Amino acid sequence: MENFSTVGVRLVCAALFAGGTAGGAAAATCEFLPNAPDQHAVVKGDTLWGIAGRFLEHPWCWGQVWGLNRDEIRDPHWIYPGQIVYLDRAAGRLRLGGGPGAADGAGDAADARLSPRLRIEALDKDALPAIPPGAIEPFLSQPLIVEADQLATAPRIVATQENHLFLGKGDKAYVRGELEGGSAFQVFRPGKPLKDPLSQAVIGHEAFYLGTMTLRSAAKAEAKANAKAEAGAANDIHTFVIASTKQEMGVGDRLLPAPPVPMRSYAPHTPSRQVDARVMSIYGGVSYAGQNQIVSVNRGALDGLDIGSVLQLYHDGRTVTDATAAKGWFGIGKPQVKLPDEQYGSLFIFRVFKHIAYGLIMQVTEPVQVGDVATNPE
């Protein structure tokens, strides 16, 4: 196996993404491993992240060495079991097909770079995922975080069929609130508040997913109007039927519209602008997290995060007393100094809300804690 020198092969994100880092995000470099293999045969069970980890020091930056632009990065349906990934050392790129220098339908490495190819839908299900899908599947279609404004306006169960204490599949529930034209909803129960580690403001709540409901009959428009005008009992009530249950439902539980079918392709990339986030919570209520566990961060779509954004994790540097320094003014005390933040892992963002996002811990050398820093890769 030929060793590969990383000297001079630093691919700068700003150049390869053709403006994808516009907005002030710092450029990130991407280097091949010194002992990167010449090729890798793709097998079922591989992930794009795992394959990239065989060639690159930072697996998240594989999109750069494929030479893909931002739109192509979002939909990587082009690597399948049975194909071979080659390291084109001369061009500093990864490619599919024949070995370096082979025609492969193109004259040079630049022409032979990857791009999404038209394939029938039946084949796309065999395309390699970017990350292990089983680690995040339960988090894609369930409302595990409810932001403050959503909680305030979410429709709620106000009564049950025959005053049942709890509801099961097939039971009726009576709901009050604006449905915004929706007919399929998920039911959740608000959990503990989520506080921004920096401002201490409550920006969301954990949500316990209970099941699904479908609309049987909506409140009539005139009834809703009368309910707003009358001082007596309101009659703006919708009738729902429980479609599925994970846990028992009851009065006070809230509804959210069922989300669209989850995306199946997630391609890692740097955020479009500089992001300074903090780990806000660890799923499951534990104090520490490791690889393949889920955390939330206090930044979301409005802060520049989208699905596939990769952040580096840092332990916030401690503030310590410099015992070696001379005493301070008038001989009182010694100065306080802040130690550098220590980078120890990476986080893959896979679900994004307005102010909050969920991330999968990809690689860490130390446990993740609430309050740790999450920011753009360097």
Domain that holds residue 183: 142-257
Task: Note whether residue 38 is domain-resident.
Answer: yes
pLDDT in tens, 59-78: 877 766 666 555 555 555 56
- pLDDT of 175 strictly over 90: yes
The answer to the question of residue 91 being in a domain is yes
* Pairing, β 11-12 against β 276-282: unpaired
5 lies in some domain: no
**Are 238 and 349 in the same domain?**
no
Per-residue model confidence (pLDDT) at position 144: 73
Question: Would the pTM count as exceeding 0.75?
Answer: no
| Residue 123 in this model has a pLDDT that exceeds 50 | no
Is 2 among the domain residues? no
C-alpha to C-alpha distance for 112 and 307, rounded to whole angstroms? 27
Give the separation between CA 274 and CA 277, rounded to whole angstroms: 10
- pLDDT of 13 reads 31
Tell me, yes or no, whether 108 and 151 share the same domain.
Answer: no
Place 112 in a pLDDT band, splitting at 50, 70 and 90.
Answer: very low
Among 105, 134, 163, the domain-final residue is 134
- Tell whether 129 and 150 lie within a shared domain: no
> Same domain, yes or no, for 184 and 121?
no
Evaluate if residue 375 carries a pLDDT over 90.
Answer: yes
Residue range 248-275, pLDDT digits in tens: 899 999 998 877 655 556 677 888 899 9
271 in a structural domain: no
pLDDT at res. 162: 82
- Quick one: 336 and 288 in the same domain? yes
Identify whether residues 130 and 149 lie together within a single domain: no
pLDDT of residue 115: 42
Residue 267: inside a domain, yes or no?
no
Rounded Cα–Cα distance for residues 231 and 194 (Å): 36
**Per-chain mean pLDDT for the chain:** 75
Lowest average pLDDT, out of 34-43, 44-53, 297-306, goes to 44-53
Give the Cα separation of 373 and 298 in Å (integer). Answer: 10
Q: Say yes or no: 16 and 82 in one domain.
A: yes
Same domain for 220 and 307, yes or no, is: no
Q: Do residues 288 and 237 both lie within one domain?
A: no
Domain final position from 257, 288, 308: 257
Q: Is the pLDDT of residue 367 over 90?
A: yes
Tokens of 193: 């508040």
Asked whether residue 340 is domain-assigned, the answer is: yes
Tell me: do 247 and 282 sit in the same domain: no
Which residues are paired to 339 by β-bridges? none
* Total residue count of the chain as it appears in this document: 378
Burial of 180 per CB tally in 10 Å (0-12, 13-18, 19+): exposed
Given pLDDT bands bounded at 50, 70 and 90, which one contains residue 226? low
> How many domains does the chain fold into?
3
Same domain? For 53 and 146 the reply is no
pLDDT at 98: 39
Of 134, 161, 194, the domain-final residue:
134
Q: Is residue 42 part of a domain?
A: yes
- Residue 284: which CATH number? 2.40.10.410
Least confident of 129-138, 166-175, 315-324, 356-365: 129-138
Instruction: Verify that 98 and 160 share a domain, yes or no.
Output: no
